[in-house]
Amino acid sequence: MITGGSVTFLRNHALILAATLLLMVAAPLPNAASDGHPLTGVDYYEFEVNQTIAHDDSAFTQGLAIHEGRMYESTGMFGQSELREIDMETGEVLRFISLNESEFGEGLAVVGDELIQLTWKAGVAHRYSIETFEEVGNYTYEGEGWGLCAKGELLYMSNGTSTLTLRNSTDFTVVRELNVTLDGEPLDRLNELECVGGMIYANVWYDDSIYLISSDSGAVWDVVDCSALFPEEAESNQVLNGIAYEPDVGLYVTGKYWQVMYEGSMREVANDPAEWQEPLDDDEVAGWLIFLIGLIAAALTYLLWGKGFDSLTKSRGVHNPPDGTVYSEGEE
């Protein structure tokens, strides 16, 4: 049975609870993007070389990918474009096929037992059997093809702009677009890609760094300076443009017409970038502290304000016994 007194009690406590919840919501949460990374503060790293491996310097590298311990490369230029398998230890070309002279090879990704190779302006993505290098089909697409990497059911594709196109890996249909930003500004000329865990590693045309992009938000979290890897007196077209990741080994990096390929890691980064979780930075710690203080303030408010309401209701002689009987002060 609900009496007038218990209605008052419920209303008062509902008010206190609502106010407390409001205070909790008002307490600022840590300053984080939807992907959990702080909105500000890109971290910078250097590439630390573990191994230097030979690389065919006639290869205009456009895509590099590793699958089951074997490395594949896509090369560009009209009349010189190829799909290759490379020995990961010696850099030797183990097998190759040439593209049509009207096609300029571009990004390369592995999907199941197939290799998918983009072409620059031909609007064709070739599908090859990874075992035989025989073409088993192709996809067509609008616009230019630059870089490509596979992550689960999705392919991430670049076209020289700051926007990546996400495609269904089984039929190449467009799923959505992802705008890539560095410190809130569009990161243009995205080129070769590599999908690593929740990140997309990207080369940027005519840039000497690798950019680590959140595959959810498109925000660049980290930048890896690779300027020390460039050949001495590099020609202007000898740019960084090959990234492949082997979980048990490291990151393989090369460039167009480079004589070497490097295997290494990012200095001051946890062992496995695929499972990498960054420690909290100062901004995040401050955010959580403020949140906790807000929470404590809300709890204190509830306790003190709640007691205040209780004494007010008591002073009006209204009590709310469990059996619903209403009686006045002094009857107990």
Chain residues in the site for Ca ion (CB under 5 A) = 64-65, 194, 243
In whole angstroms, how close is the CB of 280 to Ca ion at the nearest point? 31
Nearer to Ca ion, 61 or 320 (CB): 61
In whole angstroms, how close is the CB of 89 to Ca ion at the nearest point? 19
DSSP 8-state class, residue 227: G
Q: What contacts 24+ positions apart, CB below 8 Å, involve 12-16?
A: 12/309, 12/312, 12/313, 13/306, 13/309, 15/309, 16/302, 16/305, 16/306, 16/309
Query: Angle CA(285)–CA(216)–CA(290) in degrees, nearest 5?
Result: 20
In whole angstroms, how close is the CB of 38 to Ca ion at the nearest point? 27
Residues 91, 75 contacting (CB under 8 angstroms): no
Q: Give the C-alpha separation, 216 to 183, whole Å.
A: 16
In whole angstroms, how close is the CB of 97 to Ca ion at the nearest point? 19
In whole angstroms, how close is the CB of 103 to Ca ion at the nearest point? 19
Kind of pairing between the strands at 93-98 and 82-86: antiparallel
Nearer to Ca ion, 116 or 298 (CB): 116
Give the three-class secondary structure for 219: strand
Nearer to Ca ion, 158 or 238 (CB): 158
Residues 6 or more apart whose Cβ sits within 8 Å of residue 261: 52, 53, 54, 55, 91, 242, 252, 253, 254
Nearer to Ca ion, 115 or 223 (CB): 115
In whole angstroms, how close is the CB of 87 to Ca ion at the nearest point? 17
Nearer to Ca ion, 64 or 190 (CB): 64
Nearer to Ca ion, 204 or 243 (CB): 243
* Position of minimal CB gap to Ca ion: 194
In whole angstroms, how close is the CB of 13 to Ca ion at the nearest point? 60
Cβ atoms within 10 A of the Cβ of 113, count?
12
Tokens of 213: 């992009």
Q: How many C-alpha atoms does 288 have within 13 Å on its Cβ side?
A: 6
Nearer to Ca ion, 63 or 218 (CB): 63
